[in-house]
Amino acid sequence: MSNSIPRLPLPPNEPVLSYAPGSPERAALKETLAEMVANPVEIPLWINGEEVRTGNVVEVTAPHDHSLVLAKVHTGGAKETQAAIEAALAARAEWAALPWQERAAVFRRCSELLAGPWRQRLNASTMLGQSKNAFQAEIDAACELIDFWRFNCYYAEQLYRDQPPRSPNSMWNRSELRALEGFVFCVSPFNFTSIAANLPTAPALMGNVCVWKPSLTQMRSAYELVQLFEAAGIPKGVINMVVDGGDPRPIGDTALAHPQLAALHFTGSTATFQHLNREIGGNIERYKSYPRIVGETGGKDFVVVHPSADVPAVITALTRGAFEYQGQKCSAASRAYVPESMWAEVKAGLERDLSSIRMGSPLDFRNFVNAVIDERAFSKIEGYIQQAKDSADAEVILGGECDRSTGWFIQPTVIQAKTPDFLTMREEIFGPVLTIYVYPDAEWEQTLKLVDQTSPYALTGAVFSTCRYAVEEASRALVNAAGNFYVNDKPTGAVVGQQPFGGARASGTNDKAGSWLNLIRWVSPRSIKETFAPPTDYRYPFLAAE
């Protein structure tokens, strides 16, 4: 039992290593990559701290090289999901009763292991399995995840420390943050290793137990994560991993139908999140408690440029915001609004940038752009590009080539839309495709309305302007259009502890990963009032005889 209230210092953000030629981290990463390429792994499910091999095996290959087998993954269904739920529920009482600082110590150990001996293992597995270059892997799998664990512990302390401000002399008022009653079902995407890890570990930090379903295409780094969890001392049953072989329904249906479902923690497509919401609604009478639903979904993220903007900054923001990690970030710049007066210069700058970008395997550190995640994504993105090529309302002005011969490679592509509601201005593509609408300079106010109304999403957005009046006008007009709003910066790259991340409308519940706002969703408060001298007579003083 703890007889202290320990304080955690405000952590710094984890420094981003450069991986410059000749640096020790570059040499270590290349060595780890070579080892993983040469040694594909067999990945089991992870239930109650034990490896589970079902025999239903799916082969996972590198997105940038069809011939490179990374892993053979055992997949599961309803039976394995039920076992994971039972393991989680069996572990719940002891884990939830553990003092918060003991749980925090586990995740602080996770952060230190990742910052040290596990850094290049997680980076290399992310590069190979998710086709990220070294820098994109470093800011994701290493730095953001380390920050999630460190800052989540810091925010947890603030939440537990917060108590009612008033306790009269005769009583003591206290607040207790209980873990949710049941288990948390965590469904994570392929594109960020840090998100995949944060989805189960944020609820677990607050005393919850989890059933985690990562994406099959992210399994190479997920395998490293479960080994890291074990090395850090996460007890058996607290986090259980199941994965499907292509049909998510047996896992999802089993988890969502269970009466002990306490919450859903989700990152992925808007359509999937809406489906899961409907399933929970249809099962609402089954549940012991109303499940918490936390989701971060799609985006159609914008950059709106004022005629006063600094053109070189706009060009760089569009290039990096749209094409880093092949546009497979939910925050990626996907549509831009550029004034006529600067369009020729912006177009020339994009042409210059894109002509210098190298595309290929992340094993070649000279490549800025790598492959999209799989055939399904490739075909979808290729279809959008073809529709633009075939339409009279749009023109592919840069890129547009797609090559599936050795990997899922799509050239960074810029489309100029002749109408502001062309489908690639409205629909999420999730690939290296940027659509630009050129507007008359005098129509700034009307353009802000277009930005707000064209897309159902509201995740990230940016305004570029050197005029403070224009910045303020855009901020007001787009107040509901983006949960993360950037001034003179690209709409990607939120940092834990600096810009809590999340959006509203069709982009999710805006519960802000990387802040106390997310952690508060994983607890159920209990108010405790203790009276030291309780009354012993029911009569009020005014009833006494005169």
State pLDDT tens for residues 431-455: 999 999 999 999 999 999 999 999 9
Residue 229 near residue 258 (C-beta atoms within 8 A): no
- Give residue 543's pLDDT band: very low, low, confident or very high (50, 70, 90): confident
pLDDT at 226 over 80: yes
- Quick: pLDDT tens for 475-503: 999 999 999 999 999 999 999 999 999 99
Euclidean distance between CA atoms 99 and 428, whole angstroms: 43
In terms of domains, do 261 and 206 share one? Answer: yes
Instruction: Give the chain's radius of gyration (CA, Å).
Output: 25
Distance CA 272, CA 176 (A): 34
Q: Write down the H helix ranges in 433-534.
A: 444-454, 468-477, 516-519
SS3 content of the chain, % helix, strand, coil (to 5): 45, 20, 35
Whole-number pLDDT of residue 136 = 98
Question: 386-414 pLDDT, tens per residue?
Answer: 999 999 999 999 999 999 999 999 999 99
Q: Domain containing 265 — which CATH number?
A: 3.40.605.10
- Whether residue 3 lies inside any domain: the answer is no
Query: Does the annotation mark 42 as catalytic?
Result: no
Where residue 2 falls among pLDDT bands split at 50, 70, 90? low
Whole-angstrom distance, CA of residue 418 vs CA of residue 420: 7
Asked whether residue 497 is domain-assigned, the answer is no
Structure tokens at 210: 């989890």
CA 283/CA 280 separation, integer angstroms? 5
Same domain for 307 and 289? no
Element (H, E) at 314: helix 311-323
* Residue 4 confidence (pLDDT): 81
Concerning whether 330 is annotated as a catalytic residue, the answer is yes
Token pair for 280 = 């929970």
Give buried/exposed letters for 416-447 (b at 16+ CB in 10 A, else e). bbeebebbbbbbbbbbbbbbbbbbeeeebeeb
* Structural tokens at position 61: 């290959």
* Structural domain span for residue 322: 301-487
Same domain, 186 and 40: yes
Question: Please, what is the average pLDDT of the chain?
Answer: 97
Contact 345, 443 (CB under 8 A): no
- CA–CA distance, 315 with 451 (Å, rounded to integer): 19
| Residue found under tokens 């489908």 | 423
DSSP assigned state of 501:
B
Same domain for 276 and 134: yes
How many percent of the chain have pLDDT more than 90? 97
Residue 231 has a pLDDT of 98
Separation between Cα atoms, residue 336 and residue 461, nearest integer Å: 10
Based on the fold, state whether residues 139 and 170 are members of the same structural domain: yes
58, with CB counted inside 10 A (0-12, 13-18, 19+), is: middle
CA distance 271 to 141: 26
Which of the following is catalytic: 14, 157, 296, 382?
A: 296
Phi and psi angles of residue 383, each rounded to the nearest 5 degrees, phi first: -65, -40
- Specify if 8 maps to a domain: no
Look up residue 170 and give its two tokens.
Answer: 């005769």
Is residue 11, in this structure, part of any structural domain at all? no
Domain-embedded: residue 217? yes
Per-residue confidence at 205, pLDDT binned at 50, 70, 90?
very high
Percent of the chain at pLDDT > 70 equals 100
Angstrom distance (rounded) from CA 251 to CA 272: 14
Could you tell me if residue 2 is inside a domain?
A: no
Rounded to two decimals, the pTM is 0.97
Q: Tell me if 249 is assigned to some domain.
A: yes
pLDDT of residue 473: 98
Among 143, 330, 382, 428, the active-site one is 330
Here the tokens at position 177 are 């943050």
> Who contacts 195 (Cβ-Cβ below 8 Å, separation ≥6)?
188, 189, 267, 513
Average pLDDT over residues 113-121: 98
pLDDT tens per residue across span 123-169? 999 999 999 999 999 999 999 999 999 999 999 999 999 999 999 99
SS3 at position 153: helix
Q: Looking at the structure, do residues 196 and 345 belong to the same domain, yes or no?
A: no
- pLDDT at residue 545, rounded to an integer: 74
Same domain, 240 and 359: no
Give the total number of structural domains in the chain: 2
Give the pLDDT confidence score for residue 272 in this predicted structure. Answer: 97
Supply the pLDDT for residue 1. 54
* CATH of residue 470: 3.40.309.10
Measured between alpha carbons, how far is 303 from 491 in angstroms, rounded to an integer? Answer: 7
Please check the confidence at residue 353 and state whether its pLDDT lies above 60: yes
| One domain for residues 402 and 519 | no
Tell whether 219 and 334 lie within a shared domain.
no
Tell me the average pLDDT across 272-287: 98
Same domain for 417 and 338: yes
